[in-house]
Amino acid sequence: MKKRNVWIIVLIAVALAVLWFVKTNNKMIEAQEQTVQAWAQVENVYQRRADLIPNLVNTVKGAVDFEKSTLESVIEARSRATQVTVDPTNLTEESLAAFQSAQDNLGQSLGRLLVVIERYPELKANQNFLELQAQLEGTENRITVERRSFNQVVQSYNVLIRKFPHSLVAGIRKFDSKAYFKAAEGAETAPEVVF
């Protein structure tokens, strides 16, 4: 009778361990999918910005005899930014850094374009341009929100797979940590404003 009770206890322990493993694995899969979904949302807002740029460039071209080199740099930066893709299942520091670099270059080109536009009062009065500028500004705000949201989801996922005993399942099932968006280099230093 004692031998039978031992086997029942062993079977119950094994069944509980298997159930815990399956539940933990499913929880990690769900967290991993949330990172993929959050990344898709980040890409969505960056794509919105890329889609607005041709309209902005055409509006600027049509309104004034604008500096060709400024427009070309925006068009080239947009082209480079849309060519850099990231596999959401493999969010490494390197892939995010390449993506972020291309997007930062596009943002800088847009910034230069908007600075140069200040010299053209007739363009600043153009309703199409003003609407596109407002949409672009709103999109930049959305990018900030989605990047923050992405980092929060990644943090939750990374914490989940690193905590003991979940780390045991993560190691067996090869759940790797995901990379975060980081501030652009030099962002910690405030720009010097000279009047």
What's the pLDDT tens digit per position in 127-185?
878 888 888 889 889 999 999 999 999 999 999 999 999 999 999 999 999 988 886 66
Per-residue pLDDT, 61:
73
| 107-132 confidence digits (pLDDT tens) | 888 888 877 777 777 777 778 788 88
- What mean pLDDT comes out for the span 58-78? 75
Tell which residue, 148, 151, 144, 156, has the closest CA to residue 32.
Answer: 156
Q: How far apart are CA 174 and CA 161, in angstroms?
A: 10
Tell which residue, 50, 102, 64, 55, has the closest CA to residue 81.
Answer: 102
Per-residue pLDDT, 62:
66
108: number of Cβ within 10 Å: 14
- What mean pLDDT comes out for the span 57-85? 78
Q: How far apart are CA 133 and CA 38, in angstroms?
A: 26
User: In this predicted model, which residue has the larger pLDDT, 117 or 192?
Assistant: 117
Ranking 31-40, 41-50, 139-148, 175-184 by mean pLDDT, the lowest is 175-184
